[in-house]
Amino acid sequence: MEQIVFILILLLTLGIFSRSLLILKAKFDMTQSFAFDGQILNRIKLTAKVALGQTKILRKPFIGLMHALVFWGFMVITIGSVEMVIDGIFGWHRSFGSWGKVYDIISASGDVFAYIVLSGILIFLVRRLTMHIARFAGKEITKNNKVDANIALSFILLLMVSLIGLNVYEVVLYQEEAIGFYPVSTSLADMINSAHPIVMYKIFWWMHILLIFFFANYLPYSKHFHVFMSLPNVFFSKLTPLTFFPALDAVTQEVKIMMSDNPYAADNQNEISRFGVKDVDDVTWKNYMDALTCTQCGRCTEVCPASITGKQLSPRKIFVDLRRRMDEKHKLKTDDNALVGSYITHEELWACTTCNACAQECPLNISHPNLILDMRRYLVLEEGQAPEELNAMFANIENNGAPWKYSSEDRLKWTEA
């Protein structure tokens, strides 16, 4: 009977999660293609260094180390979660226990990390609830964002409590015959005198697996979706120098047509849908993946010179707005709003100095300036809107072949003075 209940709950969980994935697929289908250059080996190395090694997170020594330990702990504990699903389906107990010494190492690591992750989450919650961390604030960080962060952290807290209880009562119930090795929980088990250890074990087992199922279905709608997205996003991040901005393919195509022998040939009459990015259906799937991966940690905004000097720009807001606008566009299908204008103002876009401090600092290799530049391209090429100083420069280039207001014949007149 217990197996049947578990299988039904598992199927319900997978059904809901599959629906969430289909919604995400529909949103990705709205985006444009993204040129992938291969370089698989280099990307694996980058992922191992940045995502698995947490090298960028560790730039902030204490809190970075705590976050890295929580991440590494989750990776180890996930093995136990998979084991629980198999146990629940087949009615087994510790199905990976046949791995022998390997299982002892995994179970011991999971036990130790459960307490480390619990400590880390408590520190994170205290920081969020009692300390006024500047980078946790901003106009893009609404009350719902803060509630979402606290809910996700509370889920993880309860997951660790239930896992610790599960390990403790594994030792209490089976004692010398317990499968696996639980160095910390064994010490706690010695202090427990429970009259119904099997009942407590079942309570913690079901509590833990149900929390896993609930959390998995909550994540796609939370900023903590980076739990799933961080590894693929780093894998697909740009390998070129941060200062390299690729040419706009649509412009390159137009220039090639203009320079061809017969620019008016039928083959050259393909209409360009849009130059640059106006709305979410103009961004690439990698841009949207960046938005789903963004942890809203604020490290990008914290180092942005425009933000520091009081400008409207917040690099974090660019991707928070992209995700919100995508949700709105997918729901409404057609409306009068757009990413540029309705969500992100012209002032924000032109405040960016393209210094790439945000991209350099982002722990998940999100490139903010690339998307900002594409939105600027739309403003200039489609709307003809740019700051007055740039418009003057554009006019000079068109009329004089140079950014200056003097014609080519007059440029050396200063030498005659």
Write the secondary structure of 137-182 as one string of H (helix), E (strand) and C (coil): CCCCCCHHHHHHHHHHHHHHHHHHHHHHHHHHHHHHHHHHHCCCCC
pLDDT value at position 411? 75
What is residue 284's three-state secondary structure? strand
Segment 355-384, tens digit of pLDDT: 999 999 999 999 999 999 999 999 998 888
- Give residues with Cβ within 8 angstroms of 41, minimum separation 6: none
Question: Which one, of 54, 113, 83, 18, lies nearest residue 231 by Cα?
Answer: 54
Per-state percent for the chain, helix, strand, coil, to nearest 5: 70, 0, 30
pLDDT value at position 384? 86
Arithmetic mean of pLDDT, 23-29 = 96
pLDDT value at position 271? 65
Please check whether residues 129 and 183 belong to one and the same domain.
yes
Please check whether residues 124 and 193 belong to one and the same domain.
yes
pLDDT value at position 272? 65
Structure letter (DSSP) for residue 49:
I
C-alpha–C-alpha distance, residues 361 and 367, integer Å: 10
Residue 232: pLDDT above 90? yes
C-alpha–C-alpha distance, residues 375 and 340, integer Å: 7
Question: Which one, of 359, 372, 350, 381, lies nearest residue 243 by Cα?
Answer: 359
C-alpha–C-alpha distance, residues 217 and 118, integer Å: 21
Residue 4: pLDDT above 90? yes
Among 223, 240, 260, where does a domain finish?
223
Quickly state the pLDDT bin for 275 (edges 50, 70, 90): confident
pLDDT value at position 358? 95
Please check whether residues 100 and 205 belong to one and the same domain.
yes
- Token pair for 406: 């003097």
Residue 277: pLDDT above 80? yes
Please count the structural domains in the chain.
2
Which amino acid makes up residue 88? Answer: G
Contact 293, 235 (CB under 8 A): no
Quickly state the pLDDT bin for 246 (edges 50, 70, 90): confident
pLDDT value at position 417? 58
Query: Domain limits at 344?
Result: 249-400
Residue 283 in any domain: the answer is: yes
How many residues does this entry show for the chain? 417
Arithmetic mean of pLDDT, 31-58 = 92
How many Cα atoms within 13 Å fall on the side-chain side of residue 391?
A: 8
CATH code for the domain in which residue 278 is found: 1.10.1060.10
Place of tokens 């924000």: 348
Segment 158-203, tens digit of pLDDT: 999 999 999 999 999 988 888 999 999 999 988 887 778 899 999 9
Please check whether residues 206 and 270 belong to one and the same domain.
no
Number of helices (H), then strands (E), in the chain: 17, 0
- Token pair for 238: 């740009």
Arithmetic mean of pLDDT, 231-257 = 86
Residue 147 in any domain: the answer is: yes
Residue 411 in any domain: the answer is: no
Among 188, 223, 258, where does a domain finish?
223
pLDDT value at position 35? 83
Residue 235 in any domain: the answer is: no
Please check whether residues 217 and 256 belong to one and the same domain.
no
Please check whether residues 270 and 392 belong to one and the same domain.
yes
Report how far apart, in Å, the C-alpha atoms of 225 and of each of 16, 215, 292, 296 are. Answer: 16, 10, 7, 11
Please check whether residues 210 and 261 belong to one and the same domain.
no
Residue 252: pLDDT above 70? yes
pLDDT value at position 163? 96
- Top-ranked range on mean pLDDT: pick from 138-142, 269-273, 372-376: 372-376
Residue 130 in any domain: the answer is: yes
Residue 388 in any domain: the answer is: yes
Name the CA radius of gyration of the chain, rounded.
27
Among 223, 241, 273, where does a domain finish?
223
Contact 241, 356 (CB under 8 A): no
Residue 31 in any domain: the answer is: no
pLDDT value at position 263? 67
Please check whether residues 340 and 193 belong to one and the same domain.
no
Please check whether residues 204 and 122 belong to one and the same domain.
yes
C-alpha–C-alpha distance, residues 107 and 97, integer Å: 9
Please check whether residues 93 and 205 belong to one and the same domain.
yes
C-alpha–C-alpha distance, residues 169 and 174, integer Å: 8
Quickly state the pLDDT bin for 269 (edges 50, 70, 90): low
- Token pair for 217: 């279905």
Q: At what angle do helices 101-130 and 143-174 cross, to 10 degrees?
A: 150
- Give residues with Cβ within 8 angstroms of 417, minimum separation 6: none
Arithmetic mean of pLDDT, 43-65 = 93
Please check whether residues 127 and 212 belong to one and the same domain.
yes
Listed in sequence order, the DSSP H helices in 50-142 are 61-90, 101-130
pLDDT value at position 267? 62
> Of the given ranges (133-142, 161-170, 248-257), which has the lowest mean pLDDT?
248-257
pLDDT value at position 372? 96
Please check whether residues 282 and 381 belong to one and the same domain.
yes
Residue 21 in any domain: the answer is: no
What is the number of other CB atoms lying within 10 angstroms of the CB of residue 332? 10
Report how far apart, in Å, the C-alpha atoms of 193 and of each of 196, 198, 199, 200 are. Answer: 9, 13, 13, 12
pLDDT value at position 333? 81
Report how far apart, in Å, the C-alpha atoms of 176 and of each of 171, 179, 180, 186, 396 are. Answer: 8, 9, 10, 11, 85
